[in-house]
Copies of this chain bind each other. A is one copy, B any other.
Amino acid sequence: MASITRFARASSSSLQVSTRSAPLALTARNFSTVKFNNNDRKERVVILGSGWAGYSFAKDLDPEKYERIVISPRSYFVFTPLLASTAVGTLEFRTVLEPIRRLDHGIGFHQGWAQDIDFANKTIRVEANANADSASKAVVPIAQGGQLNQTTARGATFDVTYDKLVIACGAYSQTFGIEGVREHANFLRDVGDARRIRLRILSLFEQCAYPYPMGSDTLTDEDRANLLHFAIVGGGPTGIEFSAELHDLIHDDLAKMYPDLLKFVKITVYDVSPKVLPMFDQALSKYAMDAFKRQHIEIRTQHNIERVRLADGKLGSEHGELKLKFKQYGDKEVGAGLVVWSTGLMANPLIKQLAAKEFAIPISPEDRAEARRPKAKLATDARTGGILVDEHLRVRIETQTAEAAKGSEIVPTSASNSLLRDVFVIGDAAVIESQRTLPKTAQVAAQQAIHLAKALNKANEGVIDVKNAPGFKFRNWGVMTYLGSWKAIHQGPRDELRGWAAWVLWRSAYLAKSMSLRNKFLVPVYWLVSWVFGRGISRF
């Protein structure tokens, strides 16, 4: 990390380079000769991630006051509540995307992975990710042992320094280490996932529609029933909404094109717990179950999946049939053409890596001697692996234990040092010490982002006025789930709605929150087009 140190030294004295105004002519050689007047320049806030937390924060942070730089492996924000709609062709994929570079007032952006963070020297090592055809390919790397997946070719690396750092890199899909899930199941968290699912659904119908099968290529009715079985694992809102939207696609659109295949189609939602949609009260969840029953979507609760594998022979290798093993069924496997997996979240590999690392706490320029720097680790939540923050979203650290400090020159740190200066965590990666049960949802992430942006916009010389600023408090906007056939359920903190009215509310709420004017216009256009002309079923 020689170059990190060199950069950081420069940065901690007087050097800062705005990526907006003069990036191109800079090379390592002439770097050290560039000087900026410290008083004229804005503080640089680097944001890791472009999801609900990172994007909302970047959008709300005052560009007059701060230089904003987003680092993210993908070049856009995804409006996740409408992702299931894109997976079935109701909406065009791009209507749920907001390119980061379209943010107003000059946003800095580097497309890449944060490989490591040097908190002592306020520097992030970034691995470039612009070569990937689609950012989504690289967005779901296989996390193995807490390391980022290295199967994609490594991009060039470079360092970015920060004055303030906002870690908003989110979480990964939880697979509980179940065999075959990462290889064969589809998540539904990014637009690339949605595209793969859409292509797979349409191609399964096309495969099963071939006529005149001969000899070993013959598909039996049983094969067709297996291939047209859509298995959704996880009965939370994502899984339920996807099932509902899939049902609409099949019955409104595909039924006309493949009338003979309809009898083979089956949609099943599996969950380990005794009930799905646990965040809804009994009446609403029963309403949902009844709606599903009428639509012949099967709910299988208390089902523990143990393995997903490709079927043997041609059915696996050519048609991609999957076999699901459940504890409840013993050796009898269930066939499926598509498995959509949405069972929750686990810690991001970057967070795991940072949590494991000991670092020297950045200290004031007066106390520079390396030996006198206290050492620390990030404090983490034992249950979820998230980083602990206080109610102002500032990162908590655990300082050196007495034992490790023995014989060293490290001085015990004061109470004020139990916060890592200038570093914040928001969204799925954060656990507020006093509010550990907050769910990992878009609502929480967005609200934390807005809270922190406001606090920093009001901050005096870069320091949040914690005495007068209130701490973060989650305000429950309620939960909504689409159930198919123009029906939804909504559970607010004090009210609830069901049926068509909830559906109208659902669509309007999503529309109002859809970020850019462009998409606020395009989303209803597509709702209209899909309603009048049918969903987008071109296999592309």
Contacts and interface: CB of A to CB of B under 8 A. Distances in A.
Given A110-B211, A131-B207, A206-B111, A75 B192 contact: no
Contacts of A136: 540
A346 interface: no
A538 B191 CA distance: 11
Q: Which of A24, A25, A218 has the most CB of B within 10 A?
A: A24
A188 to B, nearest CB: 15
| Max chain B C-beta neighbours (<10 A), residue from A76, A130, A192, A537 | A130
A534 B102 contact: yes
Interface in A502-540: 516-518, 521-522, 525, 529, 532-534, 536-540
A179 B170 CA distance: 46
A211 B540 contact: no
A163 to B, nearest CB: 16
B97 A538 contact: yes
Interface residues of A, number: 84
Interface in A54-79: 74-76
A100 to B, nearest CB: 9
A392 B143 CA distance: 63
A92 B160 CA distance: 35
> Which 4 A-B residue pairings sit nearest by Cβ, starting from the closest?
A156-B217, A130-B206, A518-B533, A97-B538
Given A196-B133, A211-B26, A533-B517, A158 B206 contact: no
B28 A215 contact: yes
26 contacts: A3-B214, A17-B211, A17-B212, A24-B261, A27-B220, A28-B212, A28-B218, A74-B539, A76-B538, A76-B540, A92-B92, A93-B540, A94-B536, A101-B257, A128-B210, A133-B196, A135-B540, A155-B318, A156-B318, A158-B212, A158-B213, A160-B211, A192-B540, A516-B533, A518-B532, A522-B525
Contact of A539 (B134, B202, B214): B134
A234 interface: no
A203 interface: yes
Interface of A: 3, 7, 17, 19, 22-28, 31, 74-76, 92-94, 97-99, 101-102, 109-111, 128, 130-136, 153, 155-160, 191-192, 195-196, 199, 202-203, 206-207, 209-215, 217-218, 220-221, 224, 257, 260-261, 314, 318-320, 516-518, 521-522, 525, 529, 532-534, 536-540
B134 A540 contact: yes
A130 B210 contact: yes
A400 B407 CA distance: 102
Contacts of A221: 24-25
A198 to B, nearest CB: 10
A521 B529 CA distance: 9
A318 B128 CA distance: 10
A535 to B, nearest CB: 10
Given A130-B210, A134-B540, 13 more contacts: A17-B212, A23-B209, A93-B540, A94-B536, A102-B257, A111-B206, A130-B203, A130-B206, A156-B217, A157-B217, A158-B211, A518-B529, A518-B534
Contacts of A135: 539-540
